[in-house]
Structure 1
Amino acid sequence: MSTPTFTAATLPSNDNVNPYAFSVDLNGRWFAQKGKMIAYYGRIRFEALSAGPLDALVAASFHSPLYAQDWIVAEGQGKLLLADRGFDVNSFDLDEGNLTIRAGNLLAFEPGLELKQSIIPGFLTLIGTGRFVAASNGPVHFVEPPIRVDPQALLGWADCPSPCHHYDHSYMRGVLGAARMVFGVGGTSGEEHQFDFTGEGTVLMQSSEAVMSDDVMLRDLEGQIGMVGTSGLQRLQQSISQRLSAERQ
């Protein structure tokens, strides 16, 4: 079985090279998450969102200061190859749509889409018309509400209300559940905690309960520290100390 050798002319145009890499036919600008570009052909430059010439673009399309340091703008003409550590990569098209996606899984998007920070920690929302590229731990499945989804398997949702948390209260009332709530041992699994979706729309699930990165959730927690008072910070410090102690046992 021979392995194909690509050139700038033979690479796909705005399509997958294989299940793990995507080729953007760049003619202008795209937003891209840092570290997700693996190669490029052509005359392409990469600028931080803080670059002066990008002020108008950022003001129109990027509204998530918590994640601004994670993104750059690719500008120019050529083929831009995107990938993420061997995870599945796919592109999706929005047509006057509204889609919320796990922040760490969003690799790139066209400036025609407007990015905002979701009210759900760890997620970003894309609004408008355009294409975006996302990674997933395994193939993506599309399902309709009403449905309850394991938090780690949830990739995102489109054109439907934000989910609610659902907990198995019989588990929470148990002795083991109480111990886990106090000490945070082992976290919560999909069997006792789910995201509950209702109404119309589409829910996107990945084929695994393994989240690709914890960095995004930590970023959201750090972003909320500034709203916590002294007593809250002391309580948080105590909870973290208990959790670290339990993890070392």
Structure 2
Amino acid sequence: MSEYSIQQFIEQTKQDESENDYFELETPRILEVNLMDQVWAKAGSMISYNGEIKFEREGILEHGVGRLFKKAMTGEGSALMKASGRGRLYLADQGKKITVFDLDGESITVNGNDLLAFEPSVEWDIKLMKKVAGMVSGGLFNVTLNGSGRVAVTSHYEPLTLLVKPGESVITDPHATVAWSGHLEPEFRTDISFKTLLGRGSGESIQMEFKGEGFVIVQPFEEGHVSSE
């Protein structure tokens, strides 16, 4: 472990006052939001703030009855909070690495557990993975985001992007899948021999298959699995 005087440590780790972009990566695992109006963020992700900021849980009818129904189906994992006001807001999620995307009329689908924050200009909708709700512990849900604005996504360790090409499908473990092109519709399949070969937990035999053209982002970690190693 490195040794610092307190002053050296402060200089090494202090916030950068010169940054004023809407979303700034203060460190690879802490997002700074230079709030001028409002932002949507994962409930419980605030670690610090200054200025005049008010926090509210997502209102019951904030986004209509349809999304409320889907939210109830997917549980608290999809809970969002709205931060309103002016100031600096710092967000993090269990020390996960943060990636910021700047959408320009594009669409991205994010695993609900891996969505950290997005600008209010970005349109979003929750999508249920009905086929695997009973097969994967806790079920799975995604949030599709499109339009223009910043989106912050988290991953355990460094993410890897896999390209999906026509005739070359990409197959992933649902627990390790962070995000993918918004227009791609993954198919779910089970492979008993795959499960038997690995001799691992019950969720291991479920796979996501992506076909067409686009990208899939995976992480070197299986969300929801506890390793005994």
Could you state the TM-score of these two structures normalised by the residue count of structure 2?
Answer: 0.74
**Aligned match of 1:217:** none
C-alpha separation between the residues in 1 aligned to 2:212 and 2:112? 23
Partner AA of 1:197 in structure 2: F
**Aligned match of 2:14:** 6
The superposition leaves residues 186-234 of structure 1 with CA deviations (integer Å, 9 ceiling, x where unpaired) of 3131xx4321101011111112224489xxxxxxxxxxxxxxxxxxxxx
Within a 5 Å distance, the mapping from 1:50-65 to structure 2 comes to: 50=59, 58-59=62-63, 63=67, 65=69
- Shift in alpha-carbon separation, 1:29–1:65, aligned structure 2, 3 A: farther
Relative to total residues, which structure has the larger helix share, 1 or 2?
Answer: 1
Within a 5 Å distance, the mapping from 1:118-157 to structure 2 comes to: 118-120=127-129, 121-145=140-164, 146-157=169-180
C-alpha separation between the residues in 2 aligned to 1:85 and 1:170? 34
Give % identity: 29
**Aligned match of 2:213:** 200
- Shift in alpha-carbon separation, 1:170–1:85, aligned structure 2, 3 A: closer
**Aligned match of 1:86:** 95
- Shift in alpha-carbon separation, 1:71–1:5, aligned structure 2, 3 A: same
Within a 5 Å distance, the mapping from 1:1-249 to structure 2 comes to: 2-3=8-9, 4-6=12-14, 9-10=17-18, 13=21, 14-50=23-59, 58-59=62-63, 63=67, 65-67=69-71, 70-120=79-129, 121-145=140-164, 146-170=169-193, 186-189=201-204, 192-211=205-224
C-alpha separation between the residues in 1 aligned to 2:121 and 2:36? 13
Partner AA of 1:153 in structure 2: A
CA contact 1:168–1:193 (8 Å) conserved in 2: yes
Structure 1 segments of 4 or more deviating over 6 A? none
C-alpha separation between the residues in 2 aligned to 1:67 and 1:12? 33
C-alpha separation between the residues in 2 aligned to 1:197 and 1:209? 18
Tell me the SS of whatever aligns to 1:152.
helix
C-alpha separation between the residues in 2 aligned to 1:25 and 1:38? 14
Give the deviation of 1:169 after TM superposition: 5.0
Give the deviation of 1:23 after TM superposition: 0.5
C-alpha separation between the residues in 2 aligned to 1:98 and 1:157? 9
Partner AA of 2:14 in structure 1: F
Could you state the TM-score of these two structures normalised by the residue count of structure 1?
Answer: 0.68
Tell me the SS of whatever aligns to 2:59.
coil
Tell me the SS of whatever aligns to 2:101.
strand
C-alpha separation between the residues in 2 aligned to 1:90 and 1:109? 12
Give the deviation of 1:5 after TM superposition: 4.8
Count of residues paired in the alignment: 197
C-alpha separation between the residues in 1 aligned to 2:59 and 2:92? 24
- RMSD value over aligned CA atoms? 3.0
Give the deviation of 1:140 after TM superposition: 1.6
Tell me the SS of whatever aligns to 2:51.
strand
Tell me the SS of whatever aligns to 1:144.
strand
C-alpha separation between the residues in 1 aligned to 2:128 and 2:71? 14
Q: Please list every run of 5 or more consecutive structure 2 residues that lacks an aligned counterpart in the other structure.
A: 130-139
CA contact 1:12–1:23 (8 Å) conserved in 2: no
Tell me the SS of whatever aligns to 2:14.
coil
Give the deviation of 1:64 after TM superposition: 5.0
- Shift in alpha-carbon separation, 1:160–1:201, aligned structure 2, 3 A: farther
